Amino acid sequence: MLILFLIVVIDLIGFGIIIPLLPFYAEYYSASPAEVGMLMAVYSLTQFIAAPFWGRTSDRTGRRPVLLISLAGTALSYVWLGTAESLWVLFAARAAGGFMAGNISAAFAYAADITTRENRAKGMGVVGAAFGLGFIIGPAVGGILAGSDPVNADFRSPAYAAAGLSAVALVLTFLFLKESLSTEIRERMAALTPETRREKFRKAVADPRVALLVGLSFIATFAFAGLEATFAMWSRRQYGWGPEQNGYLFAFVGVMGALVQGGLIGCLAKRFGEPALIVHGGIALTIGVLLIPFSTELPLLLLAMVIAGFGFSVLTPSLNSLISLQVGEQEQGGVIGIARSATTLARVAGPAFAGALFSLLGKDWPYFAGAIVMAVFVVLAWRAKSGLSVPKAEAEEV
């Protein structure tokens, strides 16, 4: 688990370097707020298309080959991003990066392979903590490399730094990461006909509990992705901030994510259970998003981001854990791939929706709308709370 954690941290630092810079990079090429939202979304669109493929491939060939291929492709996409000289090239580079982002699904499937049912939320939380650390270090590094001036920022150096970090993660995976999917499971998968594999997969995905959990994952990510996509534009208009200031704030949110997912989530899941954490995480995210438009002073903004970051950091590993617990070992990668597709589709729709609201109604409306969406999430999660847990005996029959 330690090697997987280090690999994900290094790779996500590169991802975190890029995220707060993209709105400024796009506006440098005269992109409108709606086009900025679409640029943030295109990565997730191609990831949505590719995630089930990567998940099913990892079920057949193992997690390690998928990690190696996707990390190599990610590094190349960052190089392409650094050489972009027009808006359409930015879109193309981000689309390529999203298609090669199979490492995310494979990392979660790897965590599911090496954890017990009782420790599944903790294992998912460790991977989530790696995400959090990536967003602590990455945005700060990206902001420093790009500079504080939004007009004359250096966008190429952060992209090349991200490429280098993905290359380091690739080397670490090749040298130190062992395959987590047992030879027995891979042989059983290889022995199945394509029709049988598809039928088993369809049966797993058709489970109402899986469908509900995937739907909840979509809603939460939709709201949070809209926040991420529009916040740099909001802070520029509200406070006059550039990439550096946004990088520090995203790092601040990353600290919250790392603390919660790396240390607290395992204890919280054992004490309260994942269904309760999903509800309370949704309530926190609702409150945090709603507070942002009213944050005329920095202390209130920091409080809003802490609450939102805590909420998303609690509900994400809880949802991933429950989704993983619904299916058997042979369907882990495929079902997690479907869940990742749902969240990446949300990262298409969320930024596009938020960017359109920003353009049409003003800078505060993406957050009002996000709070409404999360209120719907809370109602659905609360009503379904009693049916989300998986009894141990039932789970072993899956």
Could you tell me if 89 and 80 are in contact, meaning their C-beta atoms sit under 8 angstroms apart? yes
State residue 394's pLDDT score: 43
308-321 mean pLDDT = 86
| Predicted confidence band of residue 77 (pLDDT cuts 50, 70, 90) | very high
Alpha helical stretches, state H, the chain: 2-18, 22-28, 33-61, 63-82, 87-99, 102-113, 120-146, 156-176, 183-191, 194-205, 208-239, 243-259, 265-272, 274-291, 298-325, 332-361, 365-383, 385-388, 392-397
Amino acid at 200: K
C-alpha dist (Å) from residue 295 to 32, 134, 228, 291: 24, 26, 16, 6
C-alpha dist (Å) from residue 175 to 178, 309, 349: 9, 34, 38
Higher pLDDT, 331 or 107: 107
> With left for phi above 0 and alpha for psi between -120 and 50, is residue 48 left, alpha or beta?
alpha
C-alpha dist (Å) from residue 393 to 89, 116, 330: 52, 15, 18
Rounded to the nearest 10 degrees, the angle between the axes of helix 87-99 and helix 63-82 is 170
pLDDT tens, position by position, 135-189: 677 877 887 887 766 667 788 888 999 899 989 989 998 998 888 776 666 656 5
pLDDT tens, position by position, 109-125: 787 777 776 676 667 76
Distance of alpha carbon 349 from alpha carbon 343, whole angstroms = 10
50-74 mean pLDDT = 84
State residue 395's pLDDT score: 40
Q: Residues of the chain with pLDDT > 90: what percent?
A: 20
Quote the tokens at residue 284.
């926190």
Could you tell me if 213 and 343 are in contact, meaning their C-beta atoms sit under 8 angstroms apart? no
* Those residues with Cβ within 8 angstroms of residue 105's Cβ, 6 or more apart along the chain or in another chain: 51, 54, 55, 58, 66, 333, 336, 337, 340
Distance of alpha carbon 326 from alpha carbon 335, whole angstroms = 9
The alpha-carbon radius of gyration of the chain (Å, integer) is 20
Domains and CATH numbers, the chain: 2-385 (1.20.1250.20)
Q: Residues of the chain with pLDDT > 70: what percent?
A: 83
Residue identified by tokens 């489970």 is 207
Higher pLDDT, 314 or 243: 314
Distance of alpha carbon 103 from alpha carbon 88, whole angstroms = 25
